[in-house]
Amino acid sequence: MKNRLKVLRAERDWSQADLAQRLDVSRQSVNAIETGKYDPSLPLAFKIARLFAQPIETIFLDGQ
């Protein structure tokens, strides 16, 4: 699933490791989500939305 995670991260000048630490996941997981190769679970998606203070729908793009 496409997402704007990389853009949002870059706006805050965070590395993947920084974001991973804030989400309590591995850097590899952050990379997999950003590249659209792995879709986060609902709890993690909500956690990401809360971190960036944006609705989930503006971060993860359904594409349908």
Partner 1 sequence: MPTRRSMVIAGYYATAAVGSAAIWSTLALTILRHAPLAQVSTAWMLTGAYAAAMAWAAWFLWLYWRRLDEAAKEAQKFAWFVGSIGALIVTGPIMLFFRLGALPLPHGVGPGVPFGLGWAMLALSQGVGFLIAWAGWWQAKR
Binding site for partner 1 (CB under 8 A): 17, 20-21, 24-29, 31-33, 35, 37-38, 40-41, 44
Structure tokens at 35: 């590249």
Q: How far is the CB of 59 from partner 1 (least distance, A)?
A: 17
Supply the minimum distance, in Å, between the C-beta of residue 53 and partner 1: 22
Between 41 and 64, CB nearer to partner 1: 41
Nearer to partner 1, 28 or 54 (CB): 28
SS (H, E, C) the chain: CEECHHHHHHHCCCCHHHHHHHHCCCHHHHHHHHCCCCCCCHHHHHHHHHHHCCCHHHHEECCC
